[in-house]
């Protein structure tokens, strides 16, 4: 059992009560360790009902400046704190998240749309991720030593990190940045997506007394707030997760002050099923990794290449699986998959389905948006499309999967790599050696064999090509929140 699966096994099943009362406007910014209501507010929509169910502060330029100033003021003391002190603070944050997991999960369901079980999985997984990252060390390396000199490589914190996160896993993907940045002695201004700001604001609130004032500031607002962060002269590094177009804008606007950047961007992950694949064994993980979080996962299977010999069998078995799953309000008992998170993404999914019909796709299930309120789109599987069609070439980021035929290993590798994306990919086969050899030829940051999207806090994760710059997690990801200093000492 891989570390990611072990975590799901441990944390994924405990339900929170959907009846918990949640105040509509009880969400504030965290600036310099204090609650700031924000001079303006904006509504947050529940994607299952399309109703505004809560409000978040819309941080002004002055409030952002105050957060950046607080983070800069807190930096010298936080950098000087011992590693044990910083670890203690992050572990205290993990305790708070665990204590508040049902409340955080309730917020996540209402703002993100995911099922309650998946929201609990995200909330408790956030605590687990915080603890795991704390265990990572970046020891000083001795590069060389002789009678005359000793040369050491040190990892130093950078300063104020601006963290900007998306709406699919609002809390967990924020912690992928908070944990390594604070562990290594940086301070932070964290901005969640305007679609899903609330669980992250609540995280800021419940952990306010875990770190000294100013070490972690949480601000919510629109895309413009993100731009202000990336342009800010007193922010020293940007860690961003989101779409490739936004990543490009961030790279451009960070250039003004030559900020360090880590960009975790979109993907269009291929999974390749060779002719000898045991379909019954792989159908569950393939299905889960395509439709998890209603397909709103950066590293979900988004193009399923299946060998001619098993093509119809795979189509039939995936379709049968889809018929056993329920799409609905994440708060309702029995819901497996929630709605698409927002109107913009829902329209993209609807448009791709329409194009797929026009291009002659064979819809094995789903295909038409649900009637009534909510951004519900059924689990949709489309056969008989090939490369060049929009559904195969573009990232749908929703519950729609094209199943594409192939007959030749070299040809399918060429097609899988014929994209500007390069996040992840997988090869599935009874012949693990051949699959490994093929996976190593995928032009992706992660290449999996007989599995897909198996993540761990201890493994680096990131994209190549236009799927990103740099990695998160593991010592490699933690090191991205540091700069190198060579300490070259002449012995007297
Ligand atoms: P997005 O790029 O629209 O927004 C992400 C964040 O960037 C939000 O907080 C937004 O307010 C902010 N933002 C928008 N414009 C900005 C600007 N000009 N300057 C600074 N900040 C700005 O992405 P999204 O729609 O929230 O997320 C979906 C995308 O994220 C998908 O493409 C998905 O594949 C990708 N994603 C990648 C990973 C990964 O680890 N590689 C993980 C999750 C999601």
Pick the range with the lowest mean pLDDT from 11-20, 97-106, 332-341: 11-20
pLDDT class of 370 with cuts at 50, 70, 90: confident
At residue 202, the 3 state secondary structure works out as helix
pLDDT class of 20 with cuts at 50, 70, 90: low
Mean pLDDT of 126-141: 97
Question: CA 377 to CA 339: how far, in whole Å?
Answer: 7
Asked if residue 44 lies in contact with residue 14, where contact means CB atoms within 8 angstroms, the answer is no
What's the pLDDT score for residue 26?
A: 84
Q: How far is the CA of 92 from the centre of ligand 1 (A)?
A: 29
Ligand 1 atom, smallest distance to 467 CA: 41
Strand order in the sheet with 301-307: 362-365, 380-383, 400-406, 301-307, 269-273, 424-428, 446-449
Name the catalytic one among 134, 210, 298, 315. 298
Q: How far is the CA of 264 from the centre of ligand 1 (A)?
A: 9
pTM, two decimals, is 0.95
pLDDT class of 8 with cuts at 50, 70, 90: very low
Residue 102 has pLDDT above 60, yes or no: yes
pLDDT digits (tens, 9 = 90+) for 421-451: 999 999 999 999 999 999 999 999 999 999 9
Measured from the CB, is residue 446 less than 6 Å from ligand 1? no
What's the pLDDT score for residue 24?
A: 59
Asked if residue 375 lies in contact with residue 396, where contact means CB atoms within 8 angstroms, the answer is no
Measured from the CB, is residue 87 less than 6 Å from ligand 1? no
Active site residue 312: no
Question: CA 27 to CA 53: how far, in whole Å?
Answer: 12
Chain CA centroid to CA 263, Å: 11
User: Where are any strands of DSSP class E within 244-386?
Assistant: 260-264, 269-273, 301-307, 362-365, 380-383
Residue nearest to atom 15 of ligand 1 (CA): 223
Residue 348 has pLDDT above 50, yes or no: yes
Residue 11 has pLDDT above 50, yes or no: no
Beta strand 40-46 with 51-58 is antiparallel
Residue 15 has pLDDT above 50, yes or no: no
Residue nearest to atom 33 of ligand 1 (CA): 266
* R_g (Cα) of the chain, nearest Å: 23
Average pLDDT, the chain: 95
Measured from the CB, is residue 64 less than 6 Å from ligand 1? no
Question: CA 485 to CA 198: how far, in whole Å?
Answer: 38
At 126, phi and psi to the nearest 5? -65, -45
Measured from the CB, is residue 234 less than 6 Å from ligand 1? no
Question: CA 248 to CA 245: how far, in whole Å?
Answer: 5
pLDDT digits (tens, 9 = 90+) for 82-96: 999 999 999 999 999
pLDDT digits (tens, 9 = 90+) for 34-80: 999 998 999 999 999 999 999 999 999 999 999 999 999 999 999 99
DSSP type of residue 287: H
Residue nearest to atom 9 of ligand 1 (CA): 193
Residue nearest to atom 43 of ligand 1 (CA): 298
Residue nearest to atom 13 of ligand 1 (CA): 223
Beta strand 424-428 with 446-449 is parallel
Q: Longest Cα pair distance anywhere in the chain, in angstroms? A: 80
pLDDT digits (tens, 9 = 90+) for 249-280: 999 999 999 999 999 999 999 999 999 999 99
Question: CA 233 to CA 215: how far, in whole Å?
Answer: 18
What's the pLDDT score for residue 145?
A: 98
Measured from the CB, is residue 162 less than 6 Å from ligand 1? no
Active site residue 264: yes
What's the pLDDT score for residue 21?
A: 61
pLDDT digits (tens, 9 = 90+) for 395-420: 999 999 999 999 999 999 999 999 99
At 254, phi and psi to the nearest 5? -75, -15
Asked if residue 232 lies in contact with residue 97, where contact means CB atoms within 8 angstroms, the answer is no
Measured from the CB, is residue 473 less than 6 Å from ligand 1? no
Measured from the CB, is residue 246 less than 6 Å from ligand 1? yes
Asked if residue 178 lies in contact with residue 204, where contact means CB atoms within 8 angstroms, the answer is no
Please state, for a pLDDT cut of 90, what percent of the chain lies above it: 94
pLDDT digits (tens, 9 = 90+) for 177-222: 999 999 999 999 999 999 999 999 999 999 999 999 999 999 999 9
């Amino acid at each position: 059992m891989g570390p990611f699966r072990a975590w799901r096994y441990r944390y994924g099943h405990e339900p929170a009560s959907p009846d918990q009362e949640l105040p509509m406007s009880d969400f504030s910014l965290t600036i310099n360790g204090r609650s700031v209501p924000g001079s303006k507010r904006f509504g947050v929509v529940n994607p299952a009902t399309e109703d505004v169910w809560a409000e978040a502060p819309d941080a002004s330029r002055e409030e952002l400046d105050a957060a950046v100033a607080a983070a800069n003021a807190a930096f010298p003391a936080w950098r000087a704190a011992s590693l044990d002190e910083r670890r203690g603070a992050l572990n205290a944050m993990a305790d708070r998240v665990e204590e508040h997991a049902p409340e955080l999960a309730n917020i996540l369901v209402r703002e993100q749309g995911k099922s309650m079980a998946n929201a609990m999985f995200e909330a408790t997984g956030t605590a687990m991720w915080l603890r795991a990252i704390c265990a990572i060390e970046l020891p000083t390396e001795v590069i060389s030593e002789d009678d005359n000199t000793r040369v050491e490589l040190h990892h130093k914190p950078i300063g104020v990190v601006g963290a900007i996160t998306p709406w699919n896993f609002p809390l967990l993907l924020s912690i992928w940045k908070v944990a390594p940045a604070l562990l290594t002695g940086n301070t932070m201004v964290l901005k969640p997506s305007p679609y899903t700001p609330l669980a992250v604001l609540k995280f800021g609130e419940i952990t306010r007394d875990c770190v000294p004032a100013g070490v972690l500031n949480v601000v919510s607002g629109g895309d413009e707030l993100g731009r202000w962060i990336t342009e800010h002269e007193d922010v020293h590094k940007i860690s961003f997760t989101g779409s490739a177009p936004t990543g490009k804008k961030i790279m451009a606007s960070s250039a003004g002050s030559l900020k360090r950047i880590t960009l975790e961007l979109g993907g269009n992950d291929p999974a390749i099923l060779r002719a000898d694949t045991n379909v019954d064994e792989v159908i569950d993980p393939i299905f889960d990794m395509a439709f998890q979080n209603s397909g709103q996962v950066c590293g979900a299977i988004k193009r399923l290449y299946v060998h001619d010999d098993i093509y119809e069998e795979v189509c039939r078995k995936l379709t049968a699986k889809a018929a056993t799953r329920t799409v609905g309000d994440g708060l309702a008992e029995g819901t497996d998959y929630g709605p698409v998170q927002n109107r913009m993404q829902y329209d993209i999914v609807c448009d791709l389905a329409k194009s797929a019909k026009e291009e002659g796709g064979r819809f094995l299930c789903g295909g038409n948006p649900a009637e009534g309120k909510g951004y519900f789109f059924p689990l949709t599987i489309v056969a008989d499309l090939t490369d060049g069609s929009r559904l195969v070439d573009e990232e749908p980021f929703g519950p729609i999967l094209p199943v594409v035929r192939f007959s030749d290993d070299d040809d399918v590798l060429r097609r899988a790599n014929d994209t500007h994306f390069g996040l992840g990919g997988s090869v599935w086969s009874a012949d693990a050696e051949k699959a490994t050899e093929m996976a190593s030829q995928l032009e992706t940051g992660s290449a999996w064999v007989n599995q897909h999207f198996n993540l761990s806090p201890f493994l680096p994760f990131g994209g190549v090509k236009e799927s990103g710059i740099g990695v998160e997690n593991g010592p490699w990801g933690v090191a991205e929140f540091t700069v190198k200093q060579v300490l070259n000492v002449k012995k007297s």
